[in-house]
Structures are given as structure tokens and as C-alpha cells.
Structure 1
Amino acid sequence: MAALTTGKDNTKVPTKQRPAVYIRRSRADDPEYGFPDEFIELCEEHFDVLYEKNITGNPELGKRVVGAYNRGPSMPISIDELWKFPNLKIVVCSGIGWDHIDVRGLNAHGIKVANNPGVSSNAVADFGITLMLASARRLLEGVPVAMGPKQCQKFNVNWLGNDVSFASLGIVGMGDIGSKVAKRAKAFDMKIYYHNRNRKPEEEESSVGAIYCPTLADLLPRCDYVMITCPLTSETEGMFGENEFKLMKPSATIVNVARGEIIDQEALYNALKNKTIKAAALDVTYPEPLPRDHPLLTLPNIIIAPHMASATAETRKRMLPPLVETVLAVVEGRPLTNEVIL
């Protein structure tokens, strides 16, 4: 798998062997989690590409791997498999999330971990607003009335949703995604509150009219809508439980475009069933997908999407070049701006 160049007689001749990157599977081998051809072509401009099937057939090839790419809910290489990749320098997550990666375990073996921040933020923010609007306006309930197999003789003009404009929104996690949600919410004339580990500079707050709340207890009682955009960490896991739902307005809706584990799903089920809060709109759950007998699926006041917030053709295309650039930076000894530091 050495790179080829064109010789004087127009024949292909091998050049110095290039470093390799490891991709568990291509889309052809795994339509759900495999990497697309466009990404593999980008990688091949700089690296040889090795797949799981290559390493299984010839473990010696693992010595050539300097970078590994992750896509999906599991690590591309388990800690127990690292012996196959003695020269591995970095594992790169295709998206912003890295909660499924054993960062400390890899770091202990001298392997860096990087994510792909920023590129998907607009798409995720768009989808957070989409979920909020769909829930507020009862869109999923309304569509079957107009499109269902049972003929509807007339529409019920007293069947109402709620305004988003001029309502209050609480953003939990004011990073890149949360900030973009706030910009969109400002266009709806929403009153914006936010909770974050660190307060944002006054200039950033004033640009969207955001009000800082140092605790969830300060934020939750004020908000008609609460949107979770923070990463999943040991501090945020289970952040929303029974007590938090009791702090929210009975008319409030919770939206989650972050990670499912941030919400205690049993507590959410009880809060929705008992009308402690009005509704929920989720892009993420645990597990994914939920089993068909999961209690949340029995409720009429919840929307669950299939973890699709970043799933636009444009965003996925923009996500590809930074992945290649990250491994190149490590190989060339350049500093990383997207390394995951715990």
C-alpha cells in the first residue's frame, strides 16, 4: 500500500511508504456508521487507509497506523486492541461529542484524542429551534389530521399550540451551539437566560440579551422552554432529574440536542405523565434507539428524533476536511486546537 508516483516512462512506481490512518469500516461495508467515499478520498491524498478487515487479515499493518477515526457510538479501537497499533498517535471523533471515547485510557498510552467542534454547531442549533417549534405548535399531532388515512371533514379551529415569540428560553450550556441557539432565539424576540460553568463576557451577553443564571435553580423557574446544549461529562450526567423538573413551570417544555444521559429518563417520564412539565422534545436518548416498549414512547406529549441534529448534507461535507487536518497536524508536529483535555 505504498503511495505511487508517475515515472519518466509513464509507469507507476512506489514511493516512500506513507503513514496510514485506520477507519473501522467504509459506508460500503457499514451503511449506518461507515465513512463516506468523499472522506476516504480526502484521506488518501495524504495517507494510506486501512480498515478493520485489513488489520484482521494482516495484524502487522497496524504498525503503520498513526491516526484512527471514530464515527458512531463506540471506540474505533478498544484499549485491549492497542497492542496492534504501537505507533498510533491520535484518535479523532468525527463530531463534537467524545463521551463514548475512553480519553483517559488512551492518554495513558500516550495517544491524544480530538473532536470536531464548531462545524456542526449551526445545524444543531437549527434543529434545537426546530424541535422547540414543533413541540410548541403541536406539529406532529397536526400532520396526521391533514395527511392521515382517515378522512377529516373539517379542521378544529379551537385546536391550539403556543407561541415561541416573546416566550422565555433557558439555555443550559452556552458554548458554540448554545450561543448559536441564543442568536436564533433573539430573532423570535425571546427572553434568553443561560446557565454555564463560566459566565460569558458582557459583550456576548448583550449581543443577544442573555441573562446569566449561576445555578439551574435560578434558571428553571423563569423559562417557558429549556434547551440542553452542554456536553456529557461526569458533572452533567443525570443533571436533570426529579428535583429539576419540579423547579420548572408546569407549562414548560424541555428540549435536548446534547446527550441523552444528561436527563434521568425515568424522572422525565414521571414529569411528563404527571404534568409536572408540559412537554419534551428530544434528539437524543439512552439507549439509541429506545426499545419499542420504553415508557417514554407511550406518552402523547413528547417528540423523539433519531439523533439527527447535525445530519445535513452540507454540514457532513464540511465536517470532513478538519478530520484529515487534525491527523496531519499531529504527524507534522503542529499544535492541536481541538484536542480533548480532561
Structure 2
Amino acid sequence: MAREPILLLVPIPADLRAALAEHYDLVDDKPNDVPRPGFRIAVTTAIAGFTAAQLDRLPDVRMIASQGTGLEKSDLPAAARRGIKVGYTPDVMTEDVADAAIGLMYAAARRIAEADRFVRAGRWGAERIAPSISLHRKAAGIAGMGRIGQAIARRCAGLGMAVAWMGPRPKPEIAWDYVPDLRDLAQRSDVLIMAVPGGAETNGMVDAAVLKALGPRGVFVNVARGGVVDEDALIAALQNGTIAAAGLDVFATEPKLDPRFLLLENVVLEPHSSSITYETRAAVIARILGDIEAFREGRDFTDVARHA
């Protein structure tokens, strides 16, 4: 087939751009109200998504490929009304995000990042680092039991931790204890791990009351979306010892974040990188290229707009 132009609705990672550029002519969209006819395919990311207003400017688009698992920023009903297919990359990130959640749990509880800074600053010998928190035989509470939540739960169980979870409804096929209320889950947990989808239903669900229930020896981990947490409440809890520590991969205003986080020793910060491994990047790129090829050839692929 001839090289087809693809419209990039937002800046995309360099590796994905390079892979697409081998097969397609890439055009960067501009944030204005000018119509952009002539493009059947567009690419976005889960963090940016797309709006109905954007689709109004793209009269010829019939397929959007979205990098990532989240769909809360994508107006899927608007795409469905226009007959636009929407592909995304849900499965390929699961295991690496779960690994990262466990890494953040250990880094925060066992003070690994803080210990690294302690040694590099030449404090070892003159001082003794404060004790960390053991995780063996502790309780992990997981908010969200989708693909990623289940992968995290398997890892926690394998580490000898008791596992409980919460979500909008029980899942009889899942053996771990179901707790319908997040505050109750935090109360019974030593580590609270967020793996819920973003969006209005989960926005701000971790508030001061939830963090108080987690307690002064509790550890909070977020690999979901920054918006699921009241960040003012989280910062206050870390400052005041309401909880012991946190490991955060996501933030409400990323890539900018509240500068108060940078002053805290008891929080481990990641640049939304839980899925960024060589293996997952290759799988994500292959999935997007495969979905686009399937669309161009008239073959089926996972179209999430169809169920909107």
C-alpha cells in the first residue's frame, strides 16, 4: 500500500514516532479550530485522549490509535456516533505496571531511595539511618481489581502478604477478600495500592479520612492516575506522619508536580514510568502498528468505541 498520512493529535514518544514514520507520513496537529480534512487515521495517548470538539475538526478520521490503557480522556461515545474506531493498548502494560507497584511498595516501605541518598551524601558512619517497615506477612489492600490489580495481587500474595481489594462490585471468581469501602480497606491494610481507572467516579477517592485509616505505619502506592488522590491531603499526611511513606508514579498535574513533594524524604517519585521497559515499549508499538494495519486492510481489531 502507498504511504498514508497520519495525524498526531498530541506529541508522542520518540520510539513510537520513529516506528510510525517508517511506514506513514506523520503530521502534527495544531491546537486550533481549523478543520483538518484528508486524514483517515489519528494517533493520541491515554493521558491526552481526544474530545468531541477535536473530532468535529477531523471530518475524514475513521480510526484513532491511543497509546496506553486509560480511556477517561477519550470521548468514546462521540467517536462511536461518527463511526470512528478506537484502538488502545491495554494488555501489554499489565505485568510491568504491576512490577513497578511492587517496586514502589518496597522502595517506600524499606526506604530504599532514601538510603541511596543517605549513602551518597556521606552520612553512613557518622549517622545511622532510621528503621524501615517490614512487609513480610503484612496486609496489602488493592483498590481496583482489573488486569493490573489482579497482577499486583498475585505478586503480593506470592510475597506472603494477605490480600484484600475493593471495586465497584464483587467478583465471585476472585478468591481474595472483597471490601466494598475504601476507608475500610485502608483500615485493614499495611499497604494501600491504587490500580483503579481514572475518571469522575474515582477522582479524589483517596482523601484525608482514607489516609488516616491507613495509619502512621501505613504505606500508600499509586500507579493509577494522579487525580484519584487529594494531593493536599496526601502531602499533609506525609508531612505530619499520618502515614509512613508513599510511592507515586502519577500526579494530578504531571509532568509538573506539587513542589512540596520534592521536600519530603518519605515519598518515592517516578515520572509516570511504570510501564516504560524495553519489552513493553516494543509490545505497545507493535500493537499500535498492528491495529493500524488491520484497519487499513479491513480486518478486525479491538475497537473500544464500539461498546461506548
**Residue 37 of structure 2 is aligned to residue 66 of structure 1:** no
Deviates more, 1:295-304 or 1:176-185: 295-304
After TM superposition, give the deviation of residue 96 of structure 1 in Å. Answer: 0.7
2:227 counterpart SS class: helix
1:165 counterpart SS class: coil
Asked if structure 2 preserves the Cα contact closer than 8 Å seen for 1:24 and 1:34, the reply is: no
Paired residue type of 2:118 = V
- CA separation of 1:251/1:31 partners in 2, compared to 1, >3 Å: closer, same or farther? same
Q: Using CA pairs below 8 Å that are at least 6 residues apart, which structure has the higher relative contact order?
A: 2
Question: Considering only CA atoms, is the larger Rg found in Structure 1 or Structure 2?
Answer: 1
TM-score (norm 2): 0.87
Alignment length (residue pairs): 305
**Identity %, equivalent residues:** 30
**Residue 62 of structure 2 is aligned to residue 89 of structure 1:** yes
After TM superposition, give the deviation of residue 159 of structure 1 in Å. Answer: 3.2
1:128 counterpart SS class: helix
**Residue 23 of structure 2 is aligned to residue 23 of structure 1:** no
> Could you tell me which of 250, 257, 263 is aligned with 1:298?
263
Q: For residues 338 and 266 of structure 1, what CA distance do their matches in structure 2 show?
A: 37
Paired residue type of 2:248 = L
Partner residue, 2:109: 136
Partner residue, 2:131: 160
- CA separation of 1:243/1:145 partners in 2, compared to 1, >3 Å: closer, same or farther? closer
Asked if structure 2 preserves the Cα contact closer than 8 Å seen for 1:97 and 1:231, the reply is: yes
After TM superposition, give the deviation of residue 106 of structure 1 in Å. Answer: 3.4
> Could you tell me which of 216, 241, 254 is aligned with 1:288?
254
Partner residue, 2:282: 317
Asked if structure 2 preserves the Cα contact closer than 8 Å seen for 1:117 and 1:338, the reply is: no
Q: For residues 285 and 171 of structure 2, what CA distance do their matches in structure 1 show?
A: 30
Partner residue, 2:100: 127
- CA separation of 1:151/1:295 partners in 2, compared to 1, >3 Å: closer, same or farther? closer
2:268 counterpart SS class: strand
After TM superposition, give the deviation of residue 280 of structure 1 in Å. Answer: 1.3
Q: For residues 330 and 31 of structure 1, what CA distance do their matches in structure 2 show?
A: 20
Q: For residues 88 and 165 of structure 2, what CA distance do their matches in structure 1 show?
A: 24
- CA separation of 1:265/1:147 partners in 2, compared to 1, >3 Å: closer, same or farther? same
Paired residue type of 1:35 = L
Paired residue type of 1:153 = G
- CA separation of 1:311/1:180 partners in 2, compared to 1, >3 Å: closer, same or farther? same
> Could you tell me which of 238, 241, 244 is aligned with 2:210?
244
Partner residue, 1:13: none
TM-score (norm 1): 0.79
Q: For residues 110 and 31 of structure 1, what CA distance do their matches in structure 2 show?
A: 24
Asked if structure 2 preserves the Cα contact closer than 8 Å seen for 1:269 and 1:295, the reply is: yes
Structure 2 unaligned segments of length 5 or more: list them. none
- Could you give the per-residue CA deviations for residues 141-170 of structure 1, whole angstroms, max 9, x where no partner exists? 11122223x3643562x7321111211100
Partner residue, 2:21: 40
Q: For residues 151 and 219 of structure 1, what CA distance do their matches in structure 2 show?
A: 38
Q: For residues 29 and 187 of structure 2, what CA distance do their matches in structure 1 show?
A: 53
- Could you give the per-residue CA deviations for residues 12-70 of structure 1, whole angstroms, max 9, x where no partner exists? xxxxxx65433357xxxx685673423433xx2xxx4331279x9xx87x42x222111
Partner residue, 1:106: 79
